[in-house]
Amino acid sequence: MPTRLTHVCCGTQGVHTERWLDRRHFLQTFALGGSAAGLAVLLPGARAHAAGQTEAVLLSCMDYRLVEATGHYMASRGLKEKYDHLILAGAALGALTDKFPSWNQTFWDHLGVAIDLHKIHTVMVLDHRDCGAYKVILGEDLAKDPAKETAIHTTQLQRLGKMIKEKHPALDVELFLMALDGKVERIA
């Protein structure tokens, strides 16, 4: 049964978003007031590891069509209940865009909390095809040209990956592009 989880990000404009997530997919940390402060959000029945370690932090898009496929993919990697999940519209592009600068800060704040609180050692960034946020931010429907779509996602993923490595050289970075059928392609 879905559990209602509210994720709040307050910037200068005060943005509030809500998502429905099942117990396998939840945010363990979130930034408040645009600062690096974070809180653990523990769902009833979930295993609590707030003071422990997780393997990774996963940045993925908010697209409801891929919530279940994302969970299956992470479980197939042996990471079920071993990762923090950060969700931004557009994933890599959401963390980089000048259109929504508070999202940039939110990403870095979340990453800092995951490093400090859960001692993560890997950042996984999972973009997906037919992404509405890419349409909104870039003003173009990339799904009409799969080769161009792959190239633009690759550019954004690699750009974010490089920034993560520059700020946190000890972290491993893994970049992926998911199709709507759940198939995942690794981006070098």
Q: What are all long-range contacts of 99-104, with beta carbons under 8 Å and residues at least 24 apart? A: 99/137, 100/137, 101/11, 102/9, 102/11, 102/12, 102/13, 102/15, 102/34, 103/9
User: How would you label 157-170 residue by residue, b for 16+ Cβ within 10 Å and e otherwise?
Assistant: bbebbebbeeebee
Give the global pTM: 0.73
How crowded is residue 68: how many other Cβ atoms within 10 Å of its Cβ?
13
Q: Reduced to 3 DSSP states, what percent helix, strand and coil does the chain have, rounded to the nearest 5? A: 35, 25, 40
Nearest to 143 by CA among 57, 58, 65, 59: 65
CA distance 114 to 29: 8
Instruction: Name which of 184, 166, 168 is nearest 176 in CA terms.
Output: 184
The fold adopted by the segment(s) 50-187 is Beta-carbonic Anhydrase; Chain A (3.40.1050)
Q: What is the pLDDT of residue 22?
A: 36
% of the chain at pLDDT higher than 90: 69
| Residue-averaged pLDDT of the chain | 79
Mean pLDDT over 6-25 rounds to: 36
pLDDT per position as a tens digit, 55-111: 899 999 999 999 999 999 999 999 998 999 999 999 999 999 999 999 999 999 999
Q: Binning pLDDT at 50, 70 and 90, where does residue 51 land?
A: low
